[in-house]
Structure 1
């Protein structure tokens, strides 16, 4: 481990099949010195063995959980081992462009930003199509009122979520003249630098955000605490699992099914509404009606492609029954996970802000580390 001011925390996003490619890309494209904490989230045996070897060769801290963690749970575990000025959260399916980390650190050092996000891309070839270049979640007026600490907007009883992500799905070379270092409402956890000291103010990441909108919750908390959030377009990464993603490995299926389960998504969205006093807008109504979309895109749609010889009505009938069967299977797997796990890592992020590290380290029986 180096004396760098930066610790990178790698956590799984939704699967493991790109973890090796991502780790190799990290070391090939990162010139700025860094410490690495890698959270191995109950990965398949082959990847577990690979990570163990790499941790010894490259001298990084490897933490393995013997049960599946949500992304925020995994980030909190990694965060508990961070004692540097900055922590950089990245997912295990990210491919990095050269000097991505140097640009993030330079932005924070120059602007005193609390949070800095990379320009996140999607699809192949890498680093060409915009996925997230920052964004806003409220109207301009509501954003000002929210940052000022008002419990509700002046013109309604609840906040209206209006998430907007500029330039999404556009080519970087078509919008590069408009991509500037600037403040923004949110950035995403695919690649995010954070001043570690902010966690003393806001506590650890909220683990009730187990599968969606955790980046909004975190950025909203930072804003309420008086922090600033920047997009740094000179830091470019691409994540590998934007739908339609490559065919999934069978060994990744259990975690994927849990990660995007109806139960996790429903509980997550309801908590988001309640925590931030959000209207049940068309956005939430649509999400509630379409629970399981990620699973259908990754599992059922590819299967249906093999039955293209069927007529339209037959395909429709068959797909409905596959969806019904998959939902039953998902409910069974989720319930089995809940019964098998005593949830020892179910931390309360509202506990005393100064104890955020101790909260995670109190459960060593569920974790193993390489040193």
Structure 2
């Protein structure tokens, strides 16, 4: 066997119930040698047991915490253990297609890219509907009529919600400006240059921040559409699943992330980019759970006035859930601090 060039790092995105299907997909469809590190952030007992058994069977490294993890926090637990030329971040709710990793590596080798992303699809129909095929993300500056410099985010997603069959002829390897952490191949050496991932991003904008940082450091990003993966959103109505989901997409975590993004990149929060996100606060919780739950309770009636009333109540409940979780953490962590990153390393090595 050839020595692996890549370490796959699997981490939780927003749920746990798809962990088995996702991991089995990796082992069934990966045709090149790889190492694997699995980060398990407080999964329920049946998933915990499965991962423990699978790690012994397959010989991968399993890192577990008994509390939920923000995405960058989970990834940072794994990065210090990677000793291969490349690492690949993939979420625990993604299915991969045959040969997916081989073509990502070929793209990286042929283009000398720092980051390569696949064609990322979405839905239960594998490889049918596009979620992302790369995109544009940068800070643009312009001088206002008053002679002041205004900074704003330019962000464009390629081929969102298009059917693969409809745009197949347009899908080619392409240099772009950002990828998403659903699945992302990265040259490990970049972390020696830019440091670990920024844990100030608890739930959103972490991919934009990382890719802009890579671009500013002189790196390059490509999308390789011959590699296809599929993100499968399908929340189960189970307490451990819902607990993590509600925290992961909580108002508190999202607001903290947006404020951190604006502060770090010197951006005004009073513009359309940020206003759109503040106005949609909680939409993932509401679309993923609340509205389907109301529809179930009312046998499909679910009038708009009831939705608005329930959403206003849910925001208050979400604040209570988040506050209560923070109070009961076994050890408080200021996720964006260097000290917290050092603590994470100690958790792994001790």
Q: Give your verdict on TM over 0.5.
A: yes
SS in 1 for 2:317: helix
Structure-2 residue corresponding to 1:148 = none
Q: CA shift at 1:320, angstroms?
A: 2.9
1:320 maps onto 2:312 in alignment: no
1:255 maps onto 2:244 in alignment: yes
Contact 1:2/1:34, CA 8 A, preserved across alignment: no
**RMSD of Structure 2 on Structure 1 (CA):** 2.3
Contact 2:132/2:160, CA 8 A, preserved across alignment: yes
Change beyond 3 A, Cα 1:112–1:337: same
1:97 maps onto 2:86 in alignment: no
Change beyond 3 A, Cα 1:310–1:357: closer
Structure-2 residue corresponding to 1:363 = 347
How far, CA to CA, are the matches of 2:34 and 2:189 in structure 1?
18
1:49 maps onto 2:33 in alignment: no
Q: CA shift at 1:347, angstroms?
A: 5.3
Change beyond 3 A, Cα 1:316–1:223: same
1:274 maps onto 2:263 in alignment: yes
Q: Write out per-residue CA displacement over residues 268-288 of structure 1, whole angstroms, 9 at most, x where no aligned residue.
A: 011111111223321211211
TM-score (norm 1): 0.87
How far, CA to CA, are the matches of 1:208 and 1:24 in structure 2?
32
Match of 1:237 among 209, 212, 229: 229
1:167 maps onto 2:155 in alignment: no
Q: Which runs of 5+ in 1 are unaligned?
A: 143-151
How far, CA to CA, are the matches of 2:130 and 2:242 in structure 1?
27
SS in 1 for 2:227: strand
Q: Which runs of 5+ in 2 are unaligned?
A: none
Structure-2 residue corresponding to 1:337 = 325
Alignment of 1:78-227 (within 5 A): 78-138=78-138, 142=140, 152=141, 157-227=149-219
Q: CA shift at 1:50, angstroms?
A: 0.4
More strand by proportion, 1 or 2?
Answer: 2
- Larger RCO: Structure 1 or Structure 2 (Cα < 8 Å, ≥ 6 residues apart)? 1
Structure-1 residue corresponding to 2:76 = 76
Q: Write out per-residue CA displacement over residues 61-105 of structure 1, whole angstroms, 9 at most, x where no aligned residue.
A: 001011111010000001121111101000000000111100111
Aligned length: 345
